[in-house]
Amino acid sequence: MLSAVSPGGARLLTVTHDQEALVAHRLVDGSADPEPEAELRAEEVIPRHPEADPDDPEVEAFWDYEAGFLDEHTVIAGTVESDEESGAGRYWIVDLTGRGTVEPLVRPHPVTGTARALGDGTWYTVSPTDHVVRIRGLR
């Protein structure tokens, strides 16, 4: 499933149907067939939720379908849907330069709602009651 197009239009971001992998694709020389650039399998890069029952073997993280480009090389993606059984949903900053490192998003306020990238290094969320919009950035 297509999640996002990078601000410069050179990359696409998809999530596999089973939500096991977040895949960045690069468009090369105007080709209509994007080349896979990085495939991040949730089971390999996302740690078990810290509040998950350690005795439950069925607890596993998977990517949310919605993710976005913060800039040409950085993605914000969530595991909120898979985390809801264990506790608060988590968001991840994915650096596509190099091998695709994944770091947890740590902010002074919890991220509520779906994080939607604006493409300029910022993203916004809407509170669960839809009364507050918060715009946040990496800096």
Q: What is the pLDDT of residue 138?
A: 66
Q: What is the pLDDT of residue 122?
A: 87
3-state secondary structure the chain: CEEEECCCCCEEEEECCCCCEEEEEECCCCCCCCEEEEEEEHHHHCCCCCCCCCCCCCCCCCCCCCEEEEECCEEEEECHHHHCCCCCCCEEEEECCCCCEEEECCCCCCCCCCCEECCCCEEEEECCCCCCEEEEECC
CA dihedral for 53, 57, 62, 64, sign (positive or negative): negative
* Tens digit of pLDDT at every position of the chain (139 positions): 899 999 999 899 999 999 999 999 988 876 777 888 889 999 999 999 999 999 999 899 999 999 999 999 999 999 999 998 898 889 999 998 866 789 988 766 666 678 889 889 888 877 777 666 666 676 5
